[in-house]
Chains A and B, each alone.
Chain A
Amino acid sequence: MAHSGRRDSPELPDFSLLKRLARDQLIYLLEQQHEVDKLYKVEYKPIISTSDQVCFLIRPRIQTVKWIYVANADKAAGKFRRYKIIFTPQKFYACEAVLEEQGLFGDVTTDEWAFYLLPLDDDIISLELPEFFRDNFLAGDQRWVRTVGSALHLLHSIYGPFSKIYGIGRCAKMAYESWKEQVEEGDTKARQAEIGNAFLIDRDVDYITPLCSQVVYEGLVDDIFRIKCGCVEFGHDVTSSDKSVKVMLNSQDKVFSEIRNEHFSNVFSFLSQKARNLQTAYDKRRGMDIKQMKTFVSEELKGLKQEHRLLSLHIGACESIMKKKTKQDFQELLKTEHSLLEGFEIRECISFIEEHINRQVSMIESLRLLCLLSITENGLLPKDFRALKAQYLQSYGVDHLLTFANLRQLGLLVEQQPGETLTVMESKVGKLVNDKTAGKLTDAFSSLAKKSHFRALSRKLNLVPKSDEEYDLRVPRDMAYIFSGAYIPLSCKLIEQVLERDSWTGLEEVTKLLNGHEFAFTDLRAKSDAQRIILVMFLGGCTFSEISALRFLGRERGYKFIVVTTAITNSSRLIEALLGNKV
């Protein structure tokens, strides 16, 4: 990184405790209590094992519980085994009901493993609940809210007490309340707080950011190779051999930790510089005497070799990304996204999207662009809305009618109601002012609930930097660098603003545009020095770009952010979760 940040930034708490806790619990559960000797992945197929007892460790999803029907097949085959299902983090009544319906309730014993938090990195903790997004925001199923509350409670009891908690969003508020309830039930011991503040944010506060193409290295790797639980599998095009390699991507990887937050345009030059340095380090060998050689081999060589391996992997990944992304159409795609965010040349954007659909570039990408268009423009004009949807259905099949229904429900892809376009609104306002019925004015605005107000928000929070200035991506001046200087992520900007003001005051207009549900809570008893360590919890997932932006903000302001998320998301995961033909 070009700059090292403020020197007074605090140290992060140690999350290895969480990892150890989870590991010990699991080992105890599997080995001591159930004497498990072999692990398999749960799939929808018969279990091939000679063992006479089978233990399942699953999420409490109805779909997964259905997979255990295979036990029935066993029964039909006259095979009797003992079945044990361990639900994590908790069991749900509905799952038991499914078992009961299948006539398995008597044959199966159940257990729970209260596993909530998986630390992916020094500053990222995931609940690994990707279904949270769909269940909570689309289906209105709040079953996970308590889980989130429990996770928060766990963090609070180990690293708290938090002295200030801010939040925005309905779900954030519910999670906060659930957590508070649990705090009241349990006893709290006075401890040295390691985390001072917490910020809870719902994903539906900001859909724009996860819908944008990521251009920061880590995000880009996630977009292209899909990072799973902090681990990525690089195919043969990266490793330039016929084997694929699994790599853990975290701060332990010295090369990766330096480029993860960089704009992609800087990465390649950085890597080549690094390669040159490495070569010089290797070259030191020449002209060494035996003794020096010995110390070199014992101390440095291993590290260098390791670095060498990682470097070649990341260079391979970069090449692969370059091959995919530096084509003309990616530049045009980015240009379109940026125009949408800035709000000009909309017609060109629409025809770009239309061509995108027509040429069947990508099912998910097209939807993503449609959503981006709809949110930034506060809905599509009826004519465009219909035409684009018809085109899309022709390309990808009519079952996407259901997808559209889902997207509409979330307000991601909507039709502008006639008479509600911004200009009409403004003229209406003008008339109303003349009529001196200003009171009705606010009513008229508030009736637009569940509408995106991206333009207004963007103006208020200055999300889109002026485009006439040259943006040097090597020396970023604000969080916009994660989107090539075109857009500051709304979610991160909100966090910045609230932390700056130490409250929501002064942001009333913004929260109104975001449908309210903001809250702040100060615990006067918990005064701590850990004020600058801030836990940010995303309910419904967050992207690597957002994490990069927060890291940048932390370096600038001397904060340390810990990101807790229900899952790491990106545009494809977000859209895929909303596909209608997914049962």
Chain B
Amino acid sequence: MAFITANWNPLGEAFYRKTDLYEMSWNLQDGLRDSLVAAAPYGGPIAFLREPHRCSPSSRPLLEIYSSSGVQITSFPWKSGPVVQLGWTVSDELLCVQKDGTVLIYDLFGSFKRHFSLGQEVVQTQVLEAKVFHSPYGTGVAIVTGSYRFTLATNIDDLKLRRLPEVPGLHGKPSSWVVLTQDRQTKVLLSNGPELYILDNTSCTAVCPPGVSPLSGSIVHMSVSFSYKYLALFTDTGHLWLGPSHLQDELIKVDTKKMTTPKQMVWCRRPQSQQPSVVLLWDRLLLVAGVCRDTVQFPIEEPCVLVGELDGVRIISSTNQELLQEVPLVCQEIFKIASMAPGALLLEAHREYEKCSQKADEYLREIKEQSMLGESVRQCVEAAAHEYDTNTQKSLLRAASFGKCFLTDYSPDQFVSTCRELRVLNAVREAGVGLPLTHTQFKQMTLQVLIDRLVYRRLYPLAIEICRYLKIPDYQGVSRVLKHWASCKVQQKDLSDEAIARAVCVKVGDSPGVSYSHIAAKAYECGRPELAIKLLDFEARSGEQVPLLLKMKRSQLALSKAVESGDTDLVYTVVSYLKSEMNRGDFFMTLRNQPVALSLYRQFCKLQEQETLKDLYNQDDDHQELANYYVTASYREKQRLESRLSLLQSAVDEYNKAKNEFAAKATEDEMRLLRFQRKLDDEKGAGLLGLSLQATMEALLALGLHKQAEQLYRDFRVPDKRYWWLKLKSLAEKEEWEELEKFSKSKKSPIGYLAFVEVCIKCNNKYEAKKYVSKVTPEQKVKAHLAVSDLEGAADAAIERRNESEMVVVLSRCPASDRLLIERLNRARATAAKK
């Protein structure tokens, strides 16, 4: 056991240990001297900028990016202005804050992504100091300018610059400052000599936390914990004040007896631990100070850099990297010398069991007696998760598995998931990958983010392996990785379009959730339109292809794809885009090849843009439709007869061109009719304009303008039948019976005389009706007689014609009282039937 506790250092109740993470595989000539270093938390990458202030063009500083294990990812000469600060964003992008207030953003592989400025004012005053910080809102940047003002941006992806108010009495660089995130607000805490101020959006407040008396010297260094919960202040008298970051309380004051300002001061605290402590770094000394007023000191041989983590501090030197952390409670209990904790006993029992010693049983009994077996297994599993050394992990897990055998209803979930997670963690901790994550960090950052990190580093195979191993649904796992992979693949300049398209297709296939149009968009962004089109062909949903095609100005293709998708809205989007992009001629030509789009556009034009409709038909030489258009237009011109006529004339011309003689003739007739109506309206005020021919004649007859009606009848070759019906009805309605009789005698009626009978009856004039009965043709005689309710006459006619069915009709109308007639008809029926 001794070897595990060998590197434990007691500090109050707790122990601190330094674990070796990596022998750094980099080869730094000058160590870490004279360079800006930025190392991201959660085992993130490390960026170096050597001699950042040198900016002569002959020897540019070199910006290098390494993984946590010191494997170089990229390096390139720094060509922009002098850099004040480097920092990493939450999505592994490098922020370089320049002296002039410009922030440049590079990705992990050193390619420039974008830049933004921290304000015009900064260009003059220059940035004195900058800090990159993380909050729930993302990654932020805060600076102090040459005029001693603070500016901060809480989220660089949604840039809103806030210039904080002036600090009274600040006439130089503040002696120290930090960014705090409290109550969903981002504030700056700064010290000017012994005074402390809090700067928020609107005000600057002087604060004096309990225990920090102004007399104890000026505050030269301060540090806020990973979770923004705790604050540490260091004064030039060597005092260290620890307290919660709301400054209402004091935890402890420690006298370090060091008068020099530490190079770095970082909180080292594991979540839930009651014993917060701070790690201070001087040139030759590393000091851990905790609430117990005690300290642990480590001598240091070469310059190093501290990286604050959620549950510890990473110490990076030019040769190796260590993790300094408080030993987790469960590990303490198991490995503490002479521990009798159930986990410790179980571990011992298993060890004896392996040695085939009966002592194993004794240990087990002891645990069982306390009925702590379940607890012991849990402890071993938990401790394994916290251990970095794989052998320790193994022995703990074996012990747990051994203990589990003696339990009947112990849920294996925790054991299984810990094993799986450790396997993943061990894989990413490999020096080749270089993500020294602790289990606590892993739990905090979640698997999704871990996969993202791997993807950012282009470790696609590992990411996919992990997804498959942990059985993450494809949609969130493998597909996401493949999407990133493909987006990256299309940027490879050395491969042909063909090769890339094939490679992408083979790998991605039809994985759910991978959108080819997304990949194609990426290809297009990288200036490879041909590749983009090839990739789009793999996209199953044609609707998805359209937006990109439009962006690529492949409007024809976009239109046909939109039509293919069957989504008319999409078609319409393309059409309206084309309308604004192309000149009219081309636009119409394009539409012409796409009937679906054309009819859609026509629909729209019919309601919104009548003129365009005309142009459309003109373009197509569609005379028929053009003529119809003019006719429609003529009906909209209700008021002005002249323009109405000219529109109709255009319609006639077009109908003629379309060889639709009938329509041309009809339209000409309409024009004639309109002129006629106009004339009469002017002369007699008849109000005819716009009526149909029939209605016009009706109106004329009603007004007694027989001559004019007659004229229309002749001019427009109205069929005799129609005219006779019309006149008959009109005269009957006006009860001009004499006129009617005259009319009936004018010539032989083309509609027969039964009509006369019926119309008269309708107007309740039986007397007049009877006049015409005699003129009715023999076939209709019976009907005519019946119409005037002349049963005798009807019977006579029916008998005369010897028509049985007519006789039946007459019979059905006979009242039962009229026996004579009934008999006569029945007799006639009988004779008719005989024949």
Using a CB–CB cutoff of 8 Å, the interface residues on chain A facing chain B are: 62-63, 66, 92-94, 97-98, 101, 135, 139-143, 145-146, 149, 174, 177-178, 181, 354-355, 358-360, 386, 389-391, 393-399, 401-402, 404-405, 580-581, 583
Contact = CB atoms under 8 A, between A and B. Distances in A.
Which 6 interchain pairs have the tightest Cβ spacing?
A140-B599, A397-B692, A143-B568, A398-B670, A394-B693, A358-B722
A135 B692 CA distance: 29
Given A359-B725, A402-B631, A583-B632, A62 B608 contact: yes
Given A92-B569, A391-B722, A398-B666, A143 B600 contact: yes
B632 A141 contact: no
B136 interface: no
Given A141-B603, A391-B719, 15 more contacts: A93-B572, A93-B576, A94-B603, A97-B604, A101-B608, A135-B603, A146-B567, A358-B721, A389-B662, A393-B693, A394-B722, A395-B692, A398-B673, A399-B631, A401-B631
A410 to B, nearest CB: 14
Given A390-B666, A401-B628, A146 B693 contact: no
Nearest to B598: A140
A352 to B, nearest CB: 12
Contacts of A583: 606-607, 632
B694 interface: yes
What DSSP secondary structure best describes chain B's contact surface? Answer: helix
Contact of B694 (A141, A174, A360, A386): A360
10 contacts: A62-B608, A92-B569, A94-B600, A97-B576, A142-B596, A178-B566, A389-B666, A398-B692, A401-B663, A402-B631
B566 A394 contact: no
Contacts of A142: 566, 568, 596, 600
A374 to B, nearest CB: 15
Given A394-B722, A401-B663, A140 B569 contact: no
Interface string B587-616: 000000001100110111011100000000
B718 interface: yes
B692 A139 contact: no
A386 B631 contact: no
B332 interface: no
Contacts of B691: 397
Contacts of B725: 358-359
Given A93-B576, A174-B566, A398 B631 contact: yes
B669 interface: yes
A405 B694 contact: no
A395 B695 CA distance: 7
B566 A140 contact: no
B716 interface: yes
Contacts of B608: 62, 98, 101
Contacts of A97: 572, 576, 604
Contacts of B666: 389-390, 393, 398, 401
A520 B339 CA distance: 77
A308 B285 CA distance: 105
Interface residues of B, number: 41
Given A141-B568, A146-B567, A394 B716 contact: yes
Interface string B676-714: 000000000000000111110000000000000000000
Interface of B: 541, 566-569, 572-573, 576, 595-596, 599-600, 602-604, 606-608, 624, 628, 631-632, 635, 662-663, 666-667, 669-670, 673, 691-695, 716, 718-719, 721-722, 725
Contacts of A405: 624, 628
Contact of B568 (A98, A146, A404, A581): A146
Contacts of A404: 663
Residue in A66, A149, A402, A404 with the greatest tally of chain B CB atoms within 10 Å: A402
B692 A177 contact: no
Contacts of B670: 398
A141 B667 contact: no
Contact of A93 (B569, B599, B662, B669): B569
Contacts of A92: 568-569, 572
B716 A141 contact: no
Nearest to A65: B607
A63 B606 CA distance: 11
Given A146-B568, A394-B718, A394-B722, A402 B628 contact: yes
A355 B721 contact: yes
Contact of B667 (A394, A396, A401): A401
Contacts of A177: 566
Contacts of B541: 181
A238 B695 CA distance: 32
Nearest to A62: B607
Nearest to B655: A401
B667 A398 contact: yes
Contact of A394 (B595, B599, B694): B694
B229 to A, nearest CB: 41
Nearest to A101: B608
A21 to B, nearest CB: 24
Contacts of B600: 94, 141-143
Nearest to A396: B692
Residue in A145, A181, A354, A389 with the greatest tally of chain B CB atoms within 10 Å: A181
A389 B693 CA distance: 13
A329 to B, nearest CB: 11
Contacts of A139: 599, 602-603
Contacts of A360: 694
Contact of B604 (A62, A178, A390): A62
Contacts of B721: 354-355, 358
Contacts of B632: 402, 580-581, 583
B567 A94 contact: no
Contacts of B663: 401, 404
Contacts of B566: 142, 145-146, 149, 174, 177-178, 181
Residue in A135, A391, A397, A401 with the greatest tally of chain B CB atoms within 10 Å: A401
A63 B693 CA distance: 31
B635 A395 contact: no
Contacts of A386: 662
A181 B542 CA distance: 11
Contacts of A580: 628, 632
A146 B570 CA distance: 12
A94 B635 contact: no
B675 to A, nearest CB: 14
B694 A395 contact: yes
A131 to B, nearest CB: 11
B816 to A, nearest CB: 23
A394 B692 contact: yes
Residue in B624, B691, B694, B721 with the greatest tally of chain A CB atoms within 10 Å: B694
A359 B719 CA distance: 12
Given A140-B595, A389-B662, A394-B694, A399 B603 contact: no
Residue in B624, B663, B691 with the greatest tally of chain A CB atoms within 10 Å: B663
Contact of A141 (B573, B599, B718): B599
A94 B576 CA distance: 9
A73 to B, nearest CB: 19
A391 to B, nearest CB: 7
Contacts of A145: 566, 568
A103 to B, nearest CB: 14
Contacts of A174: 566
Given A141-B603, A177-B566, A398 B722 contact: no
A259 B537 CA distance: 58
Nearest to A100: B576
B559 to A, nearest CB: 14
B719 A358 contact: yes
Nearest to B566: A178
B631 A93 contact: no
A399 B628 CA distance: 9
Contacts of A63: 607
A98 B673 CA distance: 38
A421 to B, nearest CB: 19
Nearest to B573: A93
